[in-house]
A = this chain, B = another copy of it.
Amino acid sequence: MSERKKAEDFAKEQKEISVSEFFEKNKHLLGFDNPTKSLLMAVKEAVDNSLDACEEAGILPDLVVKIKNVKEDIYIVSVSDNGPGIVKEQIPRIFGKLLYGSKFHRLKQSRGQQGIGISSVTLYSQLTTGVPTKVWSKVESKKKTHYCELHLDTTKNEPDVIKEEDIEKDILGEHGVKIDMEIHGRYRKTVEDYLKQTSISNPFAKIMYTAPDGTKTTFPRSLNELPKPSKTMRPHPHGMEFGILQRLLQKTSSRTLLSFLTNEFSSVGQQSAKEICKSAKLQDSMKPQDMERGDIEKLIKSMQTSKVQRPPTDCLSPIGEAELEKSLKKEYPSAEFITSIKREPEVYRGFPFLIEVGIVYGFQEGKKKDDDEKREDSIELIRFANRVPLLYQQSACALTDAVKGVDWRRYNMQQSGNNLPVGQMKLVIHICSVWVPFVSESKEAVASYPEIIKETKLALQDAGRKLASYLSGKRRVGEQKRRLQIFDRYSGEVASAIAILVGKPEKEVEKKLKSLIESRAHIKEDTPEEKEQGK
C-alpha cells in the first residue's frame, strides 16, 4: 500500500449493503433492543398481521397466542388465526424477506404498512437461536394445510426455505395461519398489557392467551361486528411532492393533463382539474409526459394551493366513539367516569388522519398505594396507531407532546409545567391514518408532524371539557355534602338553642332539622357549570 490511501484503494472497499444486513446490525431499529421488548415484538408483529388479514377478509378474528419457555431465556412464540390463510407461493417472502408486502404501496389504513414487521422476527430468531420460523397455512377448508420452515438469507435479503410440505394434520380449522418463532427473550407482563390494549382498540377480536406459566386468559369480543372496511384512496393533490408528481406524470396512461388530474388524484373533479391547470397557466390538453421541470413546478404550486375537497375518509377505520367507550367500560368496570370523543379527519402531507380520545377517570384497579401517594402519579397514557398499542418510546411520541402541550389545569386536573397531568386517569389516544409516520421502523412512537400535534391537542381539549364538566359537578356535589355534614354535626346544639327560643321540645326540632338537611343533600345536578381554574 502506498503512503497515502488513493481513490482506487477506496473504490475496492465500496460494497452494496443488503437491507437485512443493515437491520441485523441495527436490530434496535426494529424494536429488538432488549430481551423483554424482543419477545413482545414477536407477539405484536404476528398479532397485528393476523388482525389485518382477518379484518380485510371480512372475518371476525379468533386469535390464539401462546408463549412457551423452552429453556432459560429461549421462548417459542406461537400465534394462530382464523384468517384467509396465505397461498403457499407467498409464504417464504412474507416471512423471510424484509420490505415485502401488500400494504406499503396503497393508501389505506392498516396495522402493518412497511413490509418489515414479521420478517424482522425471522431475522431476529435466526440471529439469536438459529431456529427457522415455522408457518402453517390453510386457505380453504377443502385444501390441505401447507407447512413451511424458513430462514432469511441476510446477504441477499431473500427467504431460505428449509422444508416445505402439505400436511394431513388439521390444526387450523377452516382456514387460517399459525406461526411459531423461537427467540431469545425475557417474559414480562408487557405482553398482557399489549393484548389487553389490543382488545380495547379491536373490540371485535377474540384473543385467547396462554402465558409461559400456563395461565390462560381470554380477551373476549365486546362487539360482534367488524368495522366498515376501509377503502384505498388515490393521492391527494395538497400533499404532492415534486419527485412523486414527476414520476406519476411519466407513468400515467392518461393522455392529457386534465384527465391525468381527474384520474390519478383524490378529490379532483373536472372543475377542480380545470382550475388547477388555469392557475398554473398550463394547457389542460398537454401531454403529461411532455411536461418539463418548469411546468411541473407551476403545476405543483397550483395543486398545493387549489381549493379542492378534503381527502376521502372512507380509507380510515376509527374505533368509534361509542365503541371505544364500550371497550373501556369492559376493561375498567370499576372506573368512576368514562368518556370518549372522535374528531373529523384532518390531513398531513396529503394523508388523511383522524384522532380519537378516551378518558377513564377514578379507576380502582391496581390500587396498591394509599390515596395520598396515588394522587402524585402522572396519568397513564395509552397510545394507539391504527388500532395497534404503542408501548415504548412514549417520550419521543407526537401524541405525548400533544398531551403535554394541553393546559390540563383548565380541566380540573393537576399539572406542573409542561409535564403529563397528575391524577387517577388513563388517557387513551388513537391516531388512524393511511400512513402513520413513525419515528423508527419499530413503530413505537409517532413522528412530530405539526398537523398531527395540533389536531391531537384539539381532540384532547374536547375530551378535557367533558372531564372538567364531570369533575366540577363532582366537586360541587362534594362541597355541598361537606357543608351539609358540618351543619349536621352541629344540629344537636342548633336544635337545643332553637328549642329554647321557640319553646318546643328539643327532640322535635332536631328531627325537623335532620329531615331538612337530608332533603337538601339530594340537590339536582343539571345546572350549567362554570369551569374553574384548578390549582
Q: Residues on A close to B: CB < 8 A?
A: 3-8, 10-11, 13-19, 21-22, 24-26, 28-29, 33, 53, 56-59, 84-87, 89-90, 93-94, 97, 99-102, 104-106, 114-115, 126-131, 137, 139-140, 154, 175, 241-244, 246-247, 293, 296, 393, 395-396, 435, 437-441, 447-449
Contact = CB atoms under 8 A, between A and B. Distances in A.
A361 to B, nearest CB: 27
25 contacts: A4-B84, A5-B57, A7-B84, A7-B86, A7-B87, A8-B139, A10-B56, A10-B84, A16-B99, A17-B99, A17-B105, A17-B114, A17-B115, A26-B114, A26-B438, A28-B439, A33-B447, A33-B449, A127-B242, A127-B243, A128-B241, A130-B296, A154-B243, A439-B440, A440-B440
A4 B58 contact: yes
B14 A90 contact: yes
Which 9 A-B pairs give the minimum distances between C-beta atoms? A13-B102, A127-B243, A7-B139, A17-B99, A11-B87, A5-B57, A7-B85, A17-B104, A396-B396
Which secondary structure dominates where chain A touches chain B?
Answer: loop
B28 A447 contact: yes
Given A87-B8, A244-B127, A439-B440, A19 B16 contact: no
A396 B28 CA distance: 14
Given A10-B53, A19-B19, A26-B437, 5 more contacts: A7-B84, A11-B86, A14-B94, A17-B114, A130-B296
A53 to B, nearest CB: 7
Nearest to A85: B7
A84 B242 CA distance: 34
A78 B246 CA distance: 25
A104 B23 CA distance: 12
Contacts of A137: 7
B242 A89 contact: no
Contact of A104 (B4, B22, B86, B437): B22
Contacts of A139: 6-8
Contacts of A17: 99-101, 104-105, 114-115
B16 A100 contact: yes
Contact of A393 (B58, B102, B128, B396): B396
Contacts of A128: 241-243
Contacts of A448: 33
A87 B14 CA distance: 11
Contact of A90 (B11, B140, B241): B11
A5 B108 CA distance: 16
A438 B105 CA distance: 27
A132 to B, nearest CB: 11
**Which of the listed residues A15, A21, A24, A437 has the most CB atoms from chain B within 10 Å of its own CB?**
A15
Contacts of A441: 29
Nearest to A83: B7
A301 B6 CA distance: 42
Contacts of A4: 57-59, 84
B396 A89 contact: no
Given A16-B99, A87-B7, A129 B242 contact: yes
Contacts of A154: 243, 247
A29 B127 contact: no
Nearest to A395: B395
Contact of A242 (B6, B8, B85, B130): B130
A93 B243 CA distance: 19
Given A25-B435, A130-B293, A101 B242 contact: no
A350 to B, nearest CB: 12
Contact of A93 (B14, B18, B33, B102): B14
Contact of A58 (B3, B11, B25): B3
Contacts of A126: 242-243
A126 B289 CA distance: 17
